[in-house]
Structure 1
């Protein structure tokens, strides 16, 4: 009974942490900017939103599976350091100034949009966080679901705001703040793994 309760609690935590982390790390990310600009250019095209949400779900599933797969192959100590490294990588991506240039002639090709979004997502801060959470909690399904919901919410936010996203939201300040928190978390986990704190 207690084991079942602990398992459910861990799955719930994995879902919530992944959802919140993916949403926050997705604010001002390159995929969100692409979706916002396309939405502004094409007047809130629903197919753009549908493709964006599908890509968010696919990339979340891929990174959650990768985190779980790696976790099964390494020791507990190495797993903890892996989580720290993944969060550190996420923080660096968040600190990196986004220089995604607006397309002069945005394409209407949904296939091209999907390829571009996935290429941006598979190495961004949100997906690194999903990887870390899946590895830490050994609950890839919940990490994938939470990551898909959080990442999808960030993209939906960009789609709804369109051009207003970059004009009204202090994206750079938000990403630096989230990156600082993520880096601090990575340092605490790494120091804990080394027995320093």
Structure 2
């Protein structure tokens, strides 16, 4: 249950102001708040959370306990680094009306973002990785729905760069503590 809640909250927070949320917000502005757009974006977030949880748990199962813990530390550090990367949220010039093309572009932005690295890390550490996948899917879907609802102008009112940097600092501290625990701890 803890991995579900941690994944839910961490993925939601890490997705705030992320490239995927901005993309959905911009397309929501350009194409209108259509339900198929929202469902496609939520399905992409859920699918990639499941894939990253499966990969994280698979890697961790093949490693000794301390090496798996170090893997978690590296994943958290990568998530922190991604959160510090500036997000450029230009409006699409000629947005396509193809949900398939939109899903591919969205999935490409999600595959290496902080939220999915967090799901990877939590699933690698969890005794039940499916709970981390479910929490990550719901957290990612919630952040997508927020972007879809607010649109680009609504998201621009939030202090998203500050939120992302504060979260990055917290994840970096967690990565250091986890790495030191793997290196020197029990």
Calculate the TM-score normalised by the size of structure 1: 0.91
Taking the aligned partners of 2:154 and 2:19, their CA distance within structure 1 comes to 12
Shift of 1:162: 0.7
**Matching residue of 1:185:** 174
The number of aligned residues is: 186
Shift of 1:196: 6.8
- Aligned partners of 2:147 and 2:155 also within 8 Å: no
**Which of 30, 34, 44 is 2:33 aligned to?**
44
Shift of 1:42: 1.9
**Matching residue of 1:165:** 154
For residues 33-60 of structure 1, what are the alpha-carbon distances to aligned partners after superposition, in whole Å with 9 as ceiling and x for unaligned? 0000111122211111010110011000
- Aligned partners of 1:68 and 1:138 also within 8 Å: no
- Aligned partners of 1:14 and 1:133 also within 8 Å: yes
- Aligned partners of 1:71 and 1:138 also within 8 Å: no
Shift of 1:164: 2.5
**Which of 93, 102, 106 is 1:117 aligned to?**
106
**Matching residue of 1:136:** 125
Q: Find the residue that maps to 1:33 and give its secondary structure.
A: helix
Taking the aligned partners of 2:5 and 2:61, their CA distance within structure 1 comes to 22
**Which of 59, 77, 81 is 2:70 aligned to?**
81
Q: State which drifts further: 74-83 or 131-140.
A: 131-140
**Matching residue of 1:98:** 87
Shift of 1:101: 2.8
**Which of 151, 157, 180 is 2:140 aligned to?**
151
5+ residue gaps, structure 1, are 1-11
Q: Find the residue that maps to 1:14 and give its secondary structure.
A: helix
Q: Over the residues paired in the alignment, what is the CA RMSD in angstroms? A: 1.3
Q: State which drifts further: 97-106 or 134-143.
A: 97-106
Taking the aligned partners of 1:50 and 1:168, their CA distance within structure 2 comes to 25
**Matching residue of 1:3:** none
Runs of 4+ in 1 over 4 A off after TM superposition: none
Taking the aligned partners of 1:131 and 1:96, their CA distance within structure 2 comes to 19
- Aligned partners of 1:18 and 1:150 also within 8 Å: yes
